Amino acid sequence: MSDSSAHSYWKANIRLVLSLLSIWFFISFGCGILFVDALDTIRFGGFKLGFWIAQQGSIFVFVALILYYIRAMDKLDKRYDLDSSNESAKPAQEDSQ
């Protein structure tokens, strides 16, 4: 991988991580702490929405963001030809020869 390609790969990776962390921060801190009074006027499953986000919602969002990150990094790896499934198959073929 060339230096410019590696630089653009890591720039895209950092941009993705920062955007996902920003979303999680907004959900966990913003909706769970700052905006809890406004969200408590809405009911979700019998509970106040602000309470639910603080107790459960931010964890669900975090898990969803992890799953999204996995898929996005797979796409990014394929775009920069860094697919790990191809790399793991190459040494096994070389050993058998």
pLDDT at 70: 97
| Structural domain spans, the chain | 3-92
Tell me if 80 sits within 8 A of 5, measured CB to CB: yes
pLDDT at 95: 53
pLDDT at 89: 46
Predicted TM-score (pTM) of the model is 0.75
pLDDT at 27: 93
The model's pLDDT over 22-75, given as tens digits with 9 standing for 90+, comes to: 999 999 999 988 999 999 999 988 889 998 888 898 999 999 999 999 999 999
Alpha-carbon span 74 to 72, nearest angstrom: 5
Q: Which residue has the higher pLDDT, 21 or 2?
A: 21
pLDDT at 44: 80
One DSSP character per residue, 41-61 reads TSEETTEEHHHHIIIIIHHHH
CB-CB neighbours of 87 under 10 Å: 10
- Position 64, amino acid: A
The two tokens of residue 16 are: 């993705």
β partners of residue 44: 47
The model's pLDDT over 73-91, given as tens digits with 9 standing for 90+, comes to: 999 999 988 876 655 545 5
